[in-house]
Amino acid sequence: MTLNLRYDQGRIRKYHYFMLLSLIQKYKKISRSQLAKLTKMSNTSVGKIIKNLIDDELVIEAGQTDGEIGRRAALLEINPIGSFIIGVEMDKNGVKIAIVTLTGEVIRERQFAFDPDQEPYRLLDKLGEEITILLSKMDSSINKKIIAIGISIPGLITWPEGKALRVPQFHWENINIKAYLEEKLDFVVYVDNHVRTVLLAESLYGNMRNYNNSVCIYIGSGVGGAAMVNGEMLRGHRNTLGEIGHMILDPHGTVCDCGRLGCLQTFICSSELEKQAQMPMQEIFSAYKEREDWAVKLINRAQSYLGLAISNVICIYNPEAILIAGPMIEEFPILIDNIQDEVNKYIWAPLSNSFHLVYPEIGRSSGVIGASALVLNEFLRFTNDDV
């Protein structure tokens, strides 16, 4: 049956349609002849498909290439308001809902707090109501152009089913987020782990744009990871690939919240450092700045284990770039002061200088923008899956 697809002209046209759209997204501004060169398609074929993309309002002409007079060509770019995505970020601090453009701009946002012990499906009911309220305040021309809903959540999420196997922050187990919301709302819903959405957001709109082989290490109240190879998000058998926080680095170390000893996160995440020092992170870092011996030891050890983790991750994935993200880095950048030196201490010689350490461009809105990036990524991935 799949063999016949090769001869299905409609599908091939669709394939080229999304391929050109994803190239325009990647290069930001590109001419028709540059697209023809990149794809080895004829100028005529590219011209026809671009006309469809412009007619569908997904692409616009914006400016011209530099060059000799008479040889200038129109540059194409994504029409940011050609379609919109609803991005949702859920964590213990509350729920944020945003309408996001195709270029990652938030045009309207709404948020609400909730009790993490609330019955899970009642919280999803509330989320559905809040999305409906947000949409009722938007112009109907925008509502008509919404592609789908993306949800970013810190937990173990199945893919593509969008079921939360475990969300420790809310004490959730086996909650069918995608199925439940799709039934309630008239939209397709994508749900994924927060760290993956952060890496996707930076890859589509931020500092990771130029890297096809990348890893994210995310440090907050726990430690998470995500990896992309050849521009594709790696998920593993149960969509849990990259859970580096629970790699055991010292079998004689302190107890992790997973019940085992010496997991990576026991050395670097905020909840564990707070537990060990018996005080909030702010005070730990103040003591570190005052050069109090215990605090210097604790933070130096955290830096050292972060360097160790990065060098181990480089051995596994051989990435071009490593995104180091999360609230711990945003709030206490001191943690990464000498991180390149720390990595250099542990890196396997053949891989030294093979990678860039990168910090986020998007920052605090990365949750809702990342959730929208999850949708856009699936939309553009049509080229890989459905042909």
CA distances from 126 to 30, 100, 188, 361 (A): 43, 20, 18, 31
What are the b/e assignments for 268-287, b being 16+ CB within 10 Å?
bbbebbbeebeeebeebbeb
Closest separation between CB of residue 171 and Zn ion, Å?
17
Neighbours of 165 (CB within 10 A): 15
> Which CB atom, from 256 or from 287, has the smaller least distance to Zn ion?
256
Rounded Cα distance, 294 and 287, in Å = 8
Stretch near Zn ion under the rule CB under 5 A, chosen from 11-19, 33-41, 143-151, 260-268: 260-268
Residue whose entry in the numeric block shows the structure tokens 């601090």: 93
Closest separation between CB of residue 263 and Zn ion, Å?
3
Closest separation between CB of residue 246 and Zn ion, Å?
4
Stretch near Zn ion under the rule CB under 5 A, chosen from 22-30, 168-176, 216-224, 244-252: 244-252
Q: Which of 246, 275, 301, 356 binds Zn ion (CB under 5 A)?
A: 246
Q: What residues contact 182, with CB distance under 8 A and at least 6 apart?
A: 188, 189
> Which CB atom, from 142 or from 247, has the smaller least distance to Zn ion?
247
Rounded Cα distance, 92 and 168, in Å = 10
Q: Does 166 bind Zn ion (CB under 5 A)?
A: no
Looking at the DSSP assignment, which residues form a beta bridge with residue 263? 248
Q: Does 258 bind Zn ion (CB under 5 A)?
A: yes
Closest separation between CB of residue 275 and Zn ion, Å?
13
Stretch near Zn ion under the rule CB under 5 A, chosen from 103-111, 117-125, 245-253, 292-300: 245-253
**Cβ-contact 31, 73 below 8 angstroms:** yes
Q: Does 247 bind Zn ion (CB under 5 A)?
A: no
Q: Which of 263, 281, 295, 323 binds Zn ion (CB under 5 A)?
A: 263
Stretch near Zn ion under the rule CB under 5 A, chosen from 23-31, 197-205, 234-242, 250-258: 250-258
**Both tokens of residue 48?**
């026809």
* Count of residues touching Zn ion (by CB under 5 A): 4
**Cβ-contact 261, 254 below 8 angstroms:** yes
287 secondary structure, DSSP code? H
Closest separation between CB of residue 272 and Zn ion, Å?
9
Q: Does 201 bind Zn ion (CB under 5 A)?
A: no
Q: Does 256 bind Zn ion (CB under 5 A)?
A: yes
* Interaction site with Zn ion (CB under 5 A): 246, 256, 258, 263
